[in-house]
Structure 1
């Protein structure tokens, strides 16, 4: 058997929808998830603007405003971003929601459960070892051992035994990585 992989497969992790937010609701007091409505609210007070991202509680449907910019002069905004805030640009909503600094400042975490998919070609059964290049379209944190086990039909202990990888397999990542699955012993 050759030490070089016979097959190289591209896998892509893609976002299927915006992730839910884990944020305590002030009305129902549950640590319920909130989902972005995909809208901004822009409020003018003289020459100053406030911009909020509107989210709502999944349990009680209460709307909450997360501060994007507060008391900022009109001239301090990038004109494209300001126009996007007024038009509720979906790409700007996603970029704002996925910004780690925004999440820290507004004190929420993202819940990616059911919000992503793995686009991967079928795995040929006769061409071992198999090398896979995993890339991410969005910063979706996934545990490599889980997606490898699911896609190849292996147990996670088999994954740890048969997979050579350039990153830790048990730690969530959202950075591109490469791994090789070796043939059974």
Structure 2
């Protein structure tokens, strides 16, 4: 069995319309949170920047939540602009739906694969460290250095090869005929 890993190389861009220049891409950049206290209620936003005009916008993380309802360690992480929390927050699908943005993963991930030195047929386990949406057919073609047509002929697996996934899967590589 060969292990393959899909990992992010940077935070993905956000497909979000800029109010100034109408561009469709924003970045979380350095990853900063903004916290506003109003009495005993907190608002928390993730700041994003337009890639064209550098305009800063806010993505709502928490709105009017009681201070006591947030875990003190999490609140401290918001205040310290913890980069792991920035990534976790940005990759949250519920946050994306609520704030009406999608993630653009182009150029933001890489496949770490090992060379095939196993006896035919051999099994490959693909593990995702982040929810990178990718078509298994494209991923396998890239990892094995073969065409997508050859992937159709030589790969056996339970997952549809032409449907996007971001969950771990495995497949078997058959010898070339």
Fold-level similarity (TM above 0.5)? yes
Task: Work out which of the residue numbers 35, 44, 51 in structure 2 matches 1:42.
Answer: 35
Q: Specify the alignment match of 2:141 in structure 1.
A: 149
Contact 2:41 2:65 in 1 (8 A): yes
TM-superposed deviation, 1:80: 1.4
TM-score calculated relative to the size of structure 2: 0.96
Q: Specify the alignment match of 1:76 in structure 2.
A: 69
Kindly provide the CA deviation profile for residues 51-97 of structure 1, in whole angstroms up to 9, marking residues without a partner as x: 00000000111000111111111011111111110000111111110
In structure 2, the residue corresponding to 1:80 is in which secondary structure? helix
Number of residue pairs aligned between Structure 1 and Structure 2: 176
In structure 1, the gaps of 5 or more residues are 1-7
Determine if the alignment matches structure 1 residue 12 to structure 2 residue 5. yes
TM-score calculated relative to the size of structure 1: 0.92
Kindly provide the CA deviation profile for residues 86-138 of structure 1, in whole angstroms up to 9, marking residues without a partner as x: 000111111110000000000000011111111111223x7321210001111
Contact 2:23 2:50 in 1 (8 A): no
- Aligned Cα root-mean-square deviation (Å): 1.1
- Deviating 4+ runs (over 3 angstroms): none
TM-superposed deviation, 1:169: 0.5
In structure 2, the gaps of 5 or more residues are none
